[in-house]
Structure 1
């Protein structure tokens, strides 16, 4: 019996609930298809495996459970699973979206498929932070990175910056840094210049970018942040993990701020 046949059996018991399962499966299939095309090709087979496993779970349990009430309970459990999975997938597709107010920050699909839900631990394994001082030439002409940064504009037009900070950095420290970055022309978001306080953060200060075209802006922002933070600021390239993020979006993560006049 296929997963579709299983759902047909559920329809006989509870048509309204079964229709919800159909809709949920369709939405999840659409989302996973999009994610399959927009993330690493290495994710496609594990993703297909998880979907096949979910169908197998429905098939087996429908044979085991004979009592109508138990089958109805199974139906609602499936609905809840689909709902949570759909929220997670959409939240993983669109970092910094309003959806993350519900789900919180979630790991990219690649991390989840590998069984790692700790975002920062997974990112450290997949995309280590690059030290700004050791990055190679950026403009392809052989110029040193620091020389190029000195010539680059302070804030490329249309750039949106999201600011996150974690203990021991305080909101006062984060606000001062956000205000200084705004004064240099960077589009800090949200309006509250202190940014968002988070509990799960990387081990060091960093700037993250999600499109290859934003690498120059990320390096420039990191260079501007270092004298403000008083500690090194790395750069992390997430362009291979997030393909649905608009160009010009950057993230600042502050975990260590020690400049004179800002220490709280």
Structure 2
């Protein structure tokens, strides 16, 4: 084993700082942006449904745009710091003698679960990326064992020295950050489509409002005129019957009575 990797007398191993895995702050920031994107979509839909012209969706969209810019700068900065911290590390300088020629998983089991959750959120927004399913990943092995994932081929040692190995690590980092960036771009496109639909809905509502106002301004029909009639002006409904004089014949009357059963 190279001398630089020998245990020091004070009990601390290695002259270089311990190797750090993952960029947890960048990962958490990506989760926050994902949640904010869902909030933007939800408030846009609510504003369209209620038609209240709420300013909140626009404010959230501006906030998301600022967050994406900060995220891009932060992820680039953290990636550079990660690679700079690994330059000249004994893990890169030890070579095959230290048994470190196999490159394995860059994350523990807990890290993989967090990354898989972030991956699922991004895929739900439309991101498409090749990845190794969680079922195919091995549990974190014990110390001094291979950290490789099932189905993932370890990169070959570079003949260009530490610089070539740093480039390989950079490619691994870009794999995750590139997919996150694509998902954020897809979220921005979805928000733009929602904004276009909202503008169209506002125009339609304005046209309907103008039509209602036009109908309200149309002249109303005149009401019918009523005439009050007093009791004295009521038509006379009494019918006068004029009695015509007749000739009374007692014998004829008696005969008619008997004819009809009378006495």
The TM-score normalised by the length of structure 2 is 0.23
Give the greater-gyration-radius structure (CA): 2
Give TM-score, length-normalised by structure 1: 0.23
Greater helix fraction, Structure 1 or Structure 2: 2
Which has more strand, going by share of residues? Answer: 1
